[in-house]
Structure 1
């Protein structure tokens, strides 16, 4: 996975995400600081947006707050995605790690779903996906109840999880543990090609 575009585009938003994640778990800043090997003051500065975490700290925060489909309700969300009749998949919004994928999306992959689950998909991103990721903060993606984001992407077909020219929709969903996932759907093909899934 090429982390640099992902890590640079929303570093300060990690603090906001951390505050919410910590609040839902009723964790004090000191407990998080101890877990990450930093001071409580550093955690406070991240959460207030005064300081952005370093690249290593961003990676540690993403591991700490990674979305998991652990609760019954969240597990059922994953099952609904898998049963969807359209090309759709669910990723951790922080790490882009694949959590669930519909059969309609899997049909166009070079690897079976079982081999892709848990894999970070950022390495498959098209330039359009990278550009859209960099605009998320300005679009209010990290605010409560953000609007869905739609955009067009070009192709990246010579890879394990191909992307065809298409229109994509991203929806941000909060799981029961406070972490966030992104529902990624192909809503229209840009060409007359057979419908296929898209997105990183």
Structure 2
């Protein structure tokens, strides 16, 4: 069994640190649970090292979004019923958790082919650039701001990413994991 392929190495450390802080788990306690040293957990969080193998799998399982409670399912239902082009993904793995009908109009393949699978392979350069800047923009802080960025059009056989402004919001789920709400905003008038 392997870890989910869309775990972005640059987001794993900050996500682990934020999860640990919000759940009030000390590094040495987490280290003991994972069978590693506290120094290794510290290096993972700072990006000086990357977990691999079984450690990566365990951390991914711990951090990946699992909307299982009634409140989390209500969020999924709100997104799925929205009239706006919006979708919800796991913040760590970019797995699709929910999508609105307005967003599915941009897709040429059935939604069932994407649910619970990572969307990262469809990221435009604008999306990749925004992802690389999340840490410096405060995304992993306890009170993370919404991030607004512009992306160019990107065509794939399965879907089109339209030229648009995107607003992402990081939402905590009941189990301490995070989902990312992705919304389109109108482009500024020229």
Give me the CA root mean square deviation: 2.8
Cα deviation for residue 41 of structure 1 reads: 2.7
The equivalent of 1:17 in structure 2 is: 18
- The structural deviation recorded for 1:54 is 3.6
Residues 19 and 76 of structure 1: is their aligned pair in 2 closer, same or farther, counting only changes over 3 Å? same
Q: Which position in structure 1 is the counterpart of 2:59?
A: 61
Q: Could you say what secondary structure the match of 1:104 adopts?
A: helix
Superposition deviation, residue 167 in structure 1: 0.8
Write the distance in 2 (CA, Å) between the matches of 1:88 and 1:21: 27
* Aligned equivalents of 1:44, 1:22: Cα separation in 2: 15
Counterpart Cα distance in 1 of 2:104 and 2:39 = 42
Asked whether the equivalents of residues 30 and 39 of structure 1 are also in contact (C-alpha less than 8 Å), the reply is yes
Choose which of 106, 115, 130 in structure 2 pairs with 1:108: 106
- Kindly indicate whether the alpha-carbon contact (under 8 Å) linking 2:153 and 2:162 is maintained by their aligned counterparts in 1: yes
SS of alignment partner, residue 97 of structure 2: strand
Q: TM-score, normalised by structure 2?
A: 0.83
- Contact residue 79 and residue 99 of structure 2 kept, 8 A: yes
Deviates more, 1:42-51 or 1:65-74: 42-51
Q: Distance in 2 between matches of 1:21 and 1:143?
A: 10
Partner of 2:42: 45
Give the aligned partner of residue 130 of structure 1.
128
Corresponding residue of 2:30: 29
